[in-house]
Structure formats: C-alpha cells, structure tokens
Structure 1
Amino acid sequence: MTQSAFSAIPALRRSGFFLFLLLLTAANLRTPITAVGPVLENIRQTFGLSASAAGVINFLPLLMFATLAPPAAWFGNRFGLERSLWGALLLITLGSLMRISGSETALWAGTVLLSSGIAAANVLLPPLIKRDFTEHTARYVGLYAMTMAITASIASGVVVPLAEMTRAGWRLSLAVWLIPAIVALFAWLPYLKKPAAPANTALKTSSNRSPWRAALGWQVSLFMACQSLVFYTLIGWFTPFAQDNGISQLEAGGMLFVYQIVAIVSNLACMSALKKLRDQRAIGFLASLSIFIAVAGLLMAPNYALMWLILAGLGAGASMVICLSLFNLRTADHLQASKLSGMAQCVGYGLAALGPLCFGMLHDASGNWHAPLMLLLVIAAVQMVVATLAGRARVI
C-alpha cells in the first residue's frame, strides 16, 4: 500500500490544510448534479430531448455511484488514496467541461464522466479520514457531509439566476462550478509527488476479511441504502404529492429548501454527539425513528407537511453523518474502510436509484399516495432495525 505525504509528514496532519483540501473536495461532490435540476427543462429544449430522456440525466449519477463504488475502493487501495482522489477530481472537471461543450453526445458523455469521478471520490474520502485522522473521524466526516449539503443547496438556488444573466444560459450556470474543481486539482498536486512510506504489513493482514462476507458489512450497507432511498424519494416526489394535497408548487419548493437546511443543521449536531458516544445504536435508532414518524405524518396528516419535513430533515442529516462515520468506526484500518465504503455505497445508491422509480410506479398503479408512502414507511422501519445493529461497537 502506498502511503502519502500525510502519513510521512506528521506536521501536515496537525495543519489545517488537510481540512481545507477535504472540504474543497467535498464541495465538488454534489454541485455538478444538483445544479442540473432547476435548468433541466432548458437543457431539454436545447437538445430536443424527450421528458423520459431528460429524466435519465438525473438517474445516471446514482447508477454510476452504485456501479463504480467497489472498483473505486480497489483502485484507491491499489494506487493510493491521494492519487486516486486526484484522478476522480480530474474526471469531474473533464466531464463538467464536456457536457457544456455543445453537442448532445458530449452532454451524455460528460454526465457519465463526472458521475464516475464523484462515485470514486464518494468512496475514497472516508478511508482517507480513517487513515490520517482517526481521532477526529466524526468531526471531519460531519464537516465533509455538511459541506456537500451546503454547496448542493447553493448550487440549486443560484443556477437559474445565473442562467438568466447572459446569452450563455444554462451553460454558464453549470460552468461556474468548474472553479472549485480546478482549484482542488491544483491544491492536491504537491501531495502526488511525495515519496512513499514503507508498506505496513500489519495493515495488510488486518484487512483480509471482506465486508461482503460479514453480517456487519451488510448491516451498514442496508442502513446506507434505507436512508438514501427515503431521502432521494422525498426530494423527487414531494412536490407533486404536496400539489395533490392543496399546497402550491412555490410553497412545496420552499418546504424542500427547509428540509435540506434542517439536514445541514442536523449534520453539525450529530457530528458533536458522535464524539461523546460509546456506540451509535441510540443515535442511529433515533435518527431512523424521526424519519419513520415523518413519513407516517405525511401519510396521515399531509396538511402539516412542513412539520413532517423538518422532522425528516433532522433524521436524514443525522443518518448521513452516522453512515459515513460507520465506514471508519466498523473497520480495523483504512484499507478495510475503503472496502466497506465501496460496498455500502454500491448497495446504498443502487437501491436509492430504484426508490423514486418504484414510488412513481406504485403511485401510477394505485392512483393515490397511500401505497407509495406505505412503502417508504416500511423502508424507514427496516432502517430502525439495521441502524441499531450497525451501531454496535464492533469491527468487521
């Protein structure tokens, strides 16, 4: 295993520059995707895409997250975490450039390329924290999750005004998010040239057990799957649900914004709580219970939708930080953390991609919102169980 500058130079571990690199990298892991939604109709009109084809643009990233997670874990362990992260950022940058270059082919190829880069970086950041900042895992994971959420919200909010500023339209509003990607590429460069430290044979021995063959690995992965599925389904389907219950589209959009802001606040609170707990059973159960109550509330009392979304946001924000932390807390070293991260994100995003699709199919088949919300309620109940199991203080 190739060790990097952070392992070889203790002074850099104590500096704040790693945190800067971490947050800068995290800032590129959602904005290229969330910036597309508000201008998707503009993109559709530019290339004459059907509504179904336009919908695939939003589906592709989740599909790539699931498909490429295990290979990304192998790649990081084989070639080094820093070099692999730099390669992931390069893919994000090239893909972002490609999709605004002009042709429909470039749009699709660019989307696949940048989604591949994000998929790899999703997997590689948690084990990097595990390896070099074990004592501050909860803090850095929380800040990493919070940065992704904040930048994603900002991108969603400013993309339309930016698109209306010049004749470049949606291309300008997507091009703006190339800036943090390019800065991150240059910021990582000095750490790609450092000499490798000797491999640690003890680490290699401790990482032999695959999380795919461990019950604990599946518990963490199913926790990731359940919370991701409910989160992405609510984001995708809340507005039509709200409109059918007498809430305007503008009000529904405002409620979703509140939902995401509450999740960010919950990220911070959970980050502080994790440092004080012996294990994560109680906090995982409470976060999952919050989501369960929120979905039940939407089912039985939709007129109080804002209250239920606030409760769901609290559970969603906490669940995400707990999941990311478990990649490190349930493993013996960064090599095994990388494998668990790859497995959990493969299973998690794979099922999350199916969630909105199944939700919509159930709605079409039943003609109402009762059946699809019952499905989410069952998923939230399963999450309470697997969160409690995954939260036990054990190691794969």
Structure 2
Amino acid sequence: MRNNTNPGGVDRSSRRLLLLFGVFLIAMNLRAPFTGVAPLLDMLKATFDLNAAQAGLLITLPLLAFSIVSPFAASLATRFGLERTLMMSLIIIAGGIFVRSSGSGIGLYIGTAIIGGGIAIGNVLLPSILKRDFPERVASLTAAYVLVMGCTAAGLSTLAVPFAHMENSDWRLALAASVLLPILAALAWLPQLRSSGPTTMSNKKAAGQGRIWHSPLAWQVTLFLGLDCFLYYVGVSWLPAILRDASFTEAQAGSMHGVLLLSTALPGLVLIPLAPRMKDQRHAACLLALSIMIGLMGLHILPSLAVLWIVFFGFGAGGGLILALSFVSLRTVNASDAAALSGMSQCIGYLLAATGPTLVGSIHDASGGWGTPLIVCAALSIAMAVVGLLAGRNVQVTLDVASRPVRVR
C-alpha cells in the first residue's frame, strides 16, 4: 500500500494559501479605515463645528503618520518578527478605530492618527512578506493586494453615508463598523504566529537601512512612489471642487469621486496577468504616469468629458502605486533590504502626499482657478514618467556590500 506521495508538499502548499489569504485580509485594512472618513466629512463638520482645514486634517493626519512611522517599521520587524509586527499593526488599527468612534472631537483626531500609525506598519511590511515567501510572484501578487485594497476602500466609502443614516445609527457607528476589517484579518493571521517557518529578519538590516538612503536606485523608487502619491491625494482631495467649478452638481461630483476610487483599482486586473511577462517595468511606469497627465490635462481643456479623464487619472495613479510597491521587492535581494527600502520610500512618499493637497490648494487660491494647479500637476506627472524609466530598470540595489545597483539576469 502507498501512503500520500508528498504530504509535506501538500502541507506547505496549504500554509502558503493560508498566508496569502491573510495577506489579502491585511491589505483590506491599508486604505479603507481612513479613506472611509471622506464621505462623512460634512457630517463631522456639522457635529464638531469644524472649518475646512480642520476637516481636511482628518485626511492629512494618516499620511503624516505614514511618513513618521514608516522608517521604524523595519526595526520593529527585526525585533519581533514580520508576522508578529503585522499582527501588532492590526491591533493598533482596531484600537484607533475604537478611539476615533468614541464620540469626542479629541478622540476623532487621536484615533485617526493611531489608525495611520498602524496602517504605516502594514504598508511597509507586506512587500517584505511577498519578497520572502513569494519571490517569484511579487509583481502579480502586489497588483492583486492593491486591487483588494482599492475595492475595499471604494466599498466602505460607498456604504459610509447610507450606514450613518440608518435608523438607530450615526457617524460613530458608521466609523466603528470598519473595526470588523482588522478583527477578521487578525483572526486569519493567528496561524502565522505559530508558523514554523522563518519569522524574523536578518540583523544585517540595521546597517542596510542606513545605506539605503545613499542609493540612487532607492531614491528613484522613492520619488516614483512620492510623485504618484502626491498626485493621487491631490485628486482625491480636490476633484469634487474642480468638478463643481466646471458646473457639475454636488451629487455629480460625489458620484465621480466614487468613479475615481474604483478606477484606481482597475490596473490590478491588467497587471496581475501581465506583470510576470515583463522583463522590466520601464515602459509600464512611463505609460501609467502619462495616463495621469492625460487625465489632468483633459480636466483642464475639456472638463465636459470628466468621467473619461477621471478614469485616465485613476488608472495611472492606481497602476503607479502597484508598480511602486512592486519596486520595493523587485529592486532588492531579500526581505530585510525590502523592508529598508519600503520604510524609506513610504516615509518620503507620504510626506510628499501630505503636502500635496495644501500646496495645490494654495496655488489655486493664488491663481484664482484650477487651470494653473492642473498644469503644474501635469508637469509633475511628466517628471514621474522620467523617474519611472529609471526605477523600472531590471536592476537591484545590494546593501550587504555597497549601495549600487546590480543587474538581474
């Protein structure tokens, strides 16, 4: 009689599927808990008598938290292990959601900042998990989890206002409902804490994390992510105002904002099958940045076709994020280096993103319209295309010996 021919292989395959399921559930928590606030801003402004700047801070605070916390995520993973640190990020997100939903104005802001800190850890470390456990499928899996991330954010944003207006409900329950996301992810992640596989990262990371800041290739990846995030959050913040100035109604502007969120998820459907066939990502990075430019200039020149231009913009920005996160793994040789590059790129990238809405708003106020801000952002998308041609090369930075790129064969 014959026993199972390869029980160890079956068990390993099951563990990888369970790990991947956990990765996707964690990804569901990396945008939705803070982007879901945007549809409720008018309600929050009325409740707490907030002005526009104070309300906008609820969107900016998580981005600042991303920038501040990201450089420390790799150190936490080195000390506690990738799996345990990711579980910690879910606990922090859940705690922040409870604080934000407490009903007080102070709790609203403190909870939002806590959520941003938890998301920052997950943002940095998910690419390291993919680099360590799925090195042969980094690009396609990154596209898949960004697709999950975008769809969850769009879904929660769509449900937030109807949920808040349900009988016996309000904005607090609408915001608190998102706590189900980190709870479900934490339950699915529990088996990874008992995993017999590698759970920690090399201590060589500490030296590499310092050298990463001296690598031209690391800066190219960082600037690509930073410019993409800058343009994306400018669009998320100001698109309704741009459309209202172009004679669209408030309801139409709100619907098109939802189109923007959905269109940022669309590139995942293209890049999941396409990514494994790419020898490098130069052309994809350039084309996605030019898609952003077409969307911005279209809104400036022919705003009556706004839906078309929004899809161009969203597709380019969403695809740019997928490529930028893929670069973190594709441009490094191991999980430790990936965590170091992820921390650097997201620190600078989200700092740029946090300044974007305010800076572009100031240009609008100074120029008296949206023409100049749109042209400035279109010029930045061209710069993003140039940077993408450099970051998309098939080379890797090695931090164990020197911070110079090595061509991948």
User: Given the two structures, how large is their TM-score scaled by the length of structure 2?
Assistant: 0.89
Residues 161-197 of structure 1: per-residue CA shift (max 9 Å, x gap): 1111133301111121111211222222232244575
Q: What is the match of residue 367 of structure 1?
A: 368
1:14-53 superposed matches below 5 A: 15-53=16-54
Q: What one-letter code is carried by the residue in structure 2 that aligns with 1:219?
A: Q
Q: In 1, are the aligned partners of 2:28 and 2:149 still within 8 Å (CA)? A: yes
Q: 1:200 & 1:101 partners in 2: Cα distance?
A: 37
Q: Is the 8 A contact 1:97 1:178 kept in 2?
A: yes
- Which residues of structure 1 form unaligned runs of 5+? 1-8
Q: How does 1:349-360 map to 2 (within 5 A)?
A: 349-360=350-361
User: For 2:168, what is the secondary structure of its paired residue?
Assistant: coil
| Runs of 4+ deviating beyond 6 Å | 198-206
- Equivalent residue runs for 1:174-193 within 5 Å: 174-193=175-194
Confirm or deny: 8 A CA contact 1:13 1:133 kept in the other structure. Answer: no
Match of 1:169 in 2: 170
- Partner secondary structure for residue 110 of structure 1: helix
Which residue is 1:310 aligned to? Answer: 311
Match of 1:83 in 2: 84
Whole-Å separation in 1 of the counterparts to 2:380 and 2:224: 10
1:260 maps to 261
- Which residue in 1 is equivalent to 2:7? none
Which amino acid letter does the alignment assign opposite residue 284 of structure 2?
A: I
Paired with 2:202 and 2:89, the residues of 1 have a C-alpha distance of: 27
Look up the SS of the partner of 2:393 in the other structure.
coil
Partner of 1:120 in structure 2? 121
Please give the residue correspondences for 1:1-396 in structure 2 after superposition, counting only pairs within 5 Å.
11=12, 15-194=16-195, 207=208, 210-396=211-397
Q: Distance in 2 between matches of 1:153 and 1:28?
A: 12
Structure 2 counterpart SS, 1:231: helix
Mark the CA change 1:232 to 1:216 in structure 2 (over 3 Å): closer, same or farther: same
Query: Aligned pair count?
Result: 389
Asked if the contact 1:292–1:377 (Cα under 8 Å) also holds between the matched residues in 2, the reply is yes
Contact 2:201 2:335 in 1 (8 A): no
Give the Å deviation of 1:388. 0.5
CA gap of 1:202–1:12, structure 2 versus 1, over 3 A, is farther
- Aligned CA distance change for structure 1 residues 28 and 198 (closer, same or farther; 3 Å): closer
Instruction: Give the share of equivalent positions with the same residue, in percent.
Output: 38
SS of residue paired to 2:266: helix
Distance 2:363 2:323 in 1: 30
**What is the alpha-carbon distance in structure 1 between the residues aligned to residue 19 and residue 255 of structure 2?**
35
1:330-354, Cα deviation, whole Å (9 max, x unpaired): 0010100001111111111110111
How far is 1:27 from its partner?
0.9
SS of match in other structure, 1:177: helix
Q: Per-residue deviation at 1:382? A: 0.6
Counterpart amino acid of residue 227 in structure 2: C
Code of the aligned partner of 2:285 = G
- Structure 1 residue matching 2:299: 3-state secondary structure: helix
Deviation at 1:205, TM superposition (A): 11
The answer (yes or no) to whether the contact 1:271–1:321 under 8 Å persists in 2 is: no
For residues 377 and 207 of structure 1, the distance between their equivalents in structure 2, rounded to whole angstroms, comes to 35
Cα deviation, 1:95-139, whole Å, max 9, x if unaligned, reads 101111232222222111111101111111011110011111122
Between the aligned partners of 1:184 and 1:171, the Cα distance in structure 2 is: 22
Shift of 1:77: 2.6
Higher mean C-alpha deviation, range 133-142 or range 155-164: 133-142
- What is the TM-score normalised by the length of structure 1? 0.92
State the secondary structure of the residue aligned to 1:395: strand
Q: 1: distance between equivalents of 2:362 and 2:199?
A: 54
Query: What do you get for the CA RMSD once the two structures are aligned?
Result: 2.3
Deviation (angstroms), 1:199: 7.7
Alignment CA distance shift 1:121-1:200 (3 Å): closer
The one-letter amino acid paired with 1:96 is I
- Which amino acid letter does the alignment assign opposite residue 70 of structure 2? A
Query: Cα distance, 1:375 vs. partner?
Result: 1.3
User: How big is the shift at 1:206?
Assistant: 10
How far apart, in 1, do the equivalents of 2:122 and 2:85 lie? 8
Unaligned runs of 5+ in 2: 1-9, 398-409
Counterpart residue type for residue 169 of structure 2: A
* Distance (Å, rounded) in 1 between the aligned partners of 2:197 and 2:128: 18
Q: Which residue of 2 aligns with 1:5?
A: none
Q: CA deviation at 1:47?
A: 3.0
**Contact 1:207–1:332 (Cα < 8 Å) also in 2:** no
Shift of 1:143: 1.3
Q: Aligned with 2:264: secondary structure? A: helix
CA 1:49–1:135 in 2, change beyond 3 Å: closer, same or farther?
Answer: same
Deviations 1:210-267 (CA, angstroms, capped at 9, x unpaired): 3211000000000001111111111111111111112222222222222322222212
Distance, in Å, in 2 between the alignment partners of 1:163 and 1:293 is 36
Give the 3 Å change call, closer, same or farther, for CA 201–340 of structure 1 in structure 2.
closer
1:331/1:337 contact within 8 Å kept: yes
Cα distance in 2 for residues equivalent to 1:299 and 1:104: 38
3-state SS of 2:127 partner: helix
Please state how far the C-alpha of 1:303 moved relative to its aligned partner. 2.3
Question: 2: distance between equivalents of 1:272 and 1:322?
Answer: 14
Verify the 8 A CA contact 1:126 1:327 in the aligned structure 2: yes
